[in-house]
Structure 1
Amino acid sequence: MKSQLKNYLSVTKTQWNGLVVFLILVAAILGAPYVYEYYNPPKAVDFKDFETDIALLKQVTGDDINDVSSTTAKAKPFAFNPNNLPADQWRQLGLSDKQIATIKNYEAKGGHFYRKQDVQKMYSITAEDYKRLESYINIPGETDAPSNKLIAGETVELNNADSAKLTRIPGVGPAFAARIVAYRKRLGGFLSKEQLKDVYGIDAEKYAGMAGQVRVNPARISKININEVDFEGLRKFPYLTNKQTNAIIQYRLQHGNYSSIADLQNIAILDDTILRKIEPYINFK
């Protein structure tokens, strides 16, 4: 009996060697993640871009909860003409400094309030703000003010228009106007009005309703110096992914400055379609 059990439990040298190799492989597989983490420690998360996006969102919505709640609580409304109204009086009406800065920037660019509804079109003015202040707005000659709608044959130049002017386009409200301005900033300007279809929420149907009311001056676009821009500066360009952006930066570091678009063709992940889209937006100074 013992002899049979011994024969049953015994292993050959080949089987023993196989068992040892198997155990080594198991240990290697289980230990691999720890070895990788030791030699490739995780990088600290950089929240800079996240915070930037949050700031942009607040700018687009005109909504800073803490500022709005505190200033609204101290509001003392009075009859007012919104044109050239001093900042301290806007504060008395319950607006935050960020909201006031947006209004002043609009006026600095030649903006004017012809009717009380024009105040509502400012994206920094919330629906609650307008409802609270509407009855106090008093614009002399308001009944004689020109219509806010575009007249036949009138168009808006996309690379120069502010948010208020963009709202004159049929179907474009404050939210869409803010998106167009934000996308234009990332892009560097529009080369053609068809690029509006790249803006979130503007589908083929919405674009068709806008196309006849807009025009583009390509001379107004700003270009990227491809030999000086860093990763953070280039990653905001909407036509490039993070991977493509990194490839452009790394290739420049390894091979020196780019002299023409032909140099970018050496980067495998940049196909002809991408190169045609980005070429008008870059220079090689």
Structure 2
Amino acid sequence: MHIKSHFTFSKEQRNGIFLLLILIIIFQCVYFFVVPIVIGISSDDTPVNKEALLEFTKEIDSLRLVQLEESKPKIYPFNPNYMTDFKGATLGMTNEEIDRLSAFREQNKWVNTTRQFQEVTKVSDSLLNAISPYFKLPEWITNPDRASRNYPVDNFSEKASRRGGNNYNKTFTYAQKQDLNTATAQQLQKINGVGKVFSDRIVKYRNKFEGGFIADVQLLDVYGLTPEVVEKITNQFTVKTPKAIQKININTATIDDLVTIPLIDYDLAHNIVEQRQLRAGYNSINELTKVKGFPVNKLQIIELYLHTEKEN
């Protein structure tokens, strides 16, 4: 008995199947070998405007430089003979260097040159080079010939006083200064740059603390006051009756202890404690500037409430 196979194909059918297999193989080769090469070439040959890219990069760099310059503290020309303690501290001078200058001036002596300033204060060469370009010495010192034609040296102080008032560049001693903790808003308004708004704001901020200010530097936390205006205030006012506080040991303080300090919230307190554990304790208050989120520009205020003492 002859059984007919269902899988027999004619010659045309066999040729068609063979052609289909060839086409499948060709398409597979194209997919795996040709397409990746084409895509790679097209991506590598994407046109780039190098001039526009270079210009954009330069613009970004210039903006960064502008931002860096603006973040630097500004220094205005000043006469070193009338430098206040606050001014010296902001310039980076130590207390000893400031005291040497004050002692020199108390003898009714004057700093006449940059070299003499260094001889009196003993500041380092690097600090002197940084601040001396801003020294503004009287014209009768820097240009005596021109000054002598305009007015005698003996009358310089009198003429300067007429130009700027009785307190023109006058340095007040500690005894002459008024207590910042008892000063009224009206008394503060006598300072150039301190009007009714700022004077009221200073008094209101001071009264937030029981006992008033601890130190002059807290003026920097009064909204709107610039370092220049603060310097003018501290030339005539200073904290003579500081609020008594018990400083907190930064190496043993808990998060609850730290949040009682002005300018420290819970997140910052947590970061301080976490960093303390990583460091195995702080060696100095300045190390707090490495803590994430720490307000570096408020360090002088925060350190009024802290001290460092490692546990044995």
Larger radius of gyration: 2
| Same fold per superposition (TM over 0.5) | no
TM-score normalized by the length of structure 2: 0.30
